[in-house]
Amino acid sequence: MSRALELSRVEFAYPDGRVALRGVDLVVDRGERVAILGPNGAGKTTLALHLNGIFRATGGRISVAGMELTDTNLREIRGMVGLVFQDPNDQLFMPSVREDVAFGPANMGLSGEELDNCVSAALELVDGTEFADRPPHHLSGGEKRRAALATVLAMEPEIVVFDEPSSGLDPAGRRDLISTLHTLRMTQLVITHDVSLALELCPRSVIMNEGQVVADGKTSELLADATLLAENRLELPFGLSIG
């Protein structure tokens, strides 16, 4: 299966009737890096929460690495789709970073030495071994982000979805983030407002608005289309021009 992700006419409405997704179609191949852009309220985060079954679609189909998402295989799907949340505090809920990183694989059944190795490897990937035994509230913002990423990488997912990974980071932290993301081999979806991050990291971009995909193509081409950007409340950073 070379398809990491396949969404077909995915619809979602909240219990109170509010429609969040109106038929989303999306296909992502293995190893791709795709940015998901769009205004606030477009449904980007809602979509992300469908990819690991936290929200269940009210219409359409979702397949991860060829496996269709159903009620019975949620655990397996969650092992394959890693989600890095916007606020790392929401993901670091254990007394120490090490236990947080171990949480995922432990739920998947790992224990003992196997678990320890998994944890150490994930910490290495984010350069986090130094703060591994500290409680999460003693970490800086950048360290928290790295720790949160490690908790997801420890599950060795097929796909990692990032929700606003660069928000709140200073330029140096942002640079670290970009280089870390460059080293990761798995398929990546990056939800972001940071248009230059998308440009630097993701060859392909998808623009969402009002619960639908309105554009899907090469990042550089999409961002060169001024009308498209304006329609979707997007903007190039001052001084940046493309083409």
Partner 1 sequence: MVLAMHAPDGFLNPGTAVVTAVISMVVVGFSLRQARAQLSERAIPLAGIAAAFVFAAQMFNFPVASGTTGHLLGGALVAILLGPSVGTVVVTIVVVVQALVFADGGLTALGYNVLNMAVVTSYGGYAVFRLLRKVFPSTTGGVVGATGLAAWASVVMAAVAFSIEWLFGATAPIPFDQVFTAMVGVHSLIGIGEALVSAIAVGAVLAARPDLVFGARDLDRAQLEESRLPRTRTFVIGGVLVALLFATVVSQFAVDNPDGLEAVAVDKGFIDSGSDSAMAGSIFADYATEGISNETVSLAVAGIVGTIVTLAVAGGIFLALRERRGRSPAPV
Partner 2 sequence: MGAGHAHALYVHEHSPFHRLVPEVKIAAAVGMITCVAITPRQEVWAFALYAVIVMVLITISRVSPLFVLARLAAVAPFVVFALFIPFIGTGDTTTLWGIELSIDGLWATWNIIIKAVLGASISIVLTATTEVPDIIRGLGVLRVPALFTSIATFMIRYLELITEELGRMRVAMTARGYDPRWLYQARPIATSAGAMFVRSYERGERIHSAMLARGFTGEMPIFDRRRAGPVEWASAALLVSVFAVVALLAFTTS
**What residues make contact with partner 2 under the rule CB under 8 A?**
49, 52-54, 75, 78-79, 81-83, 85, 87, 89-91, 93-96, 99, 102-104, 106-108, 111-112, 135-137, 151-152, 155
Nearer to partner 1 among residue 56 and residue 138 (C-beta): 56
Min separation Cβ 56 and partner 2, Å:
12
Six token digits for residue 187:
């398929």
Under the criterion CB under 8 A, does residue 55 sit at the interface with partner 1? Answer: yes
Residue 36 binding result from partner 2, partner 1, none, given CB thresholds of 5 to 8 Å by partner type: none
In sequence order, the 6+-apart residues with CB closer than 8 A to the CB of 90 are: none
CB atoms within 10 A of CB 31: 11
Beta bridge partners of 64: 5, 67
Residue 27 binding result from partner 2, partner 1, none, given CB thresholds of 5 to 8 Å by partner type: none
Pairing of strands 33-37, 59-64: unpaired
In sequence order, the 6+-apart residues with CB closer than 8 A to the CB of 95 are: 135
**CA 132-100-198 angle, 5° bins:** 90
Residue 15 binding result from partner 1, partner 2, none, given CB thresholds of 5 to 8 Å by partner type: partner 1
Min separation Cβ 169 and partner 1, Å:
26
Under the criterion CB under 8 A, does residue 54 sit at the interface with partner 1? Answer: yes
Stretch that binds partner 1, among 54-62, 130-138, 178-186, 200-208 (CB under 8 A): 54-62
Min separation Cβ 55 and partner 1, Å:
6
Residue 165 binding result from partner 2, partner 1, none, given CB thresholds of 5 to 8 Å by partner type: none
Stretch that binds partner 1, among 29-37, 52-60, 121-129, 193-201 (CB under 8 A): 52-60
Helix, strand, or coil (residue 93)? coil
Residue 237 binding result from partner 2, partner 1, none, given CB thresholds of 5 to 8 Å by partner type: none
Q: Which of 9, 56, 138, 175 binds partner 1 (CB under 8 A)?
A: 56
User: Distance between CA 239 and CA 228 in Å, rounded?
Assistant: 19
Helix, strand, or coil (residue 22)? strand
Find the distance separating the first CA and the last CA of the chain, reported in whole Å.
35
Q: Would you give the DSSP letter of residue 58?
A: S
Pairing of strands 159-163, 81-84: parallel
In the complex, the residues that contact partner 1 under the rule CB under 8 A are: 14-15, 54-56, 93
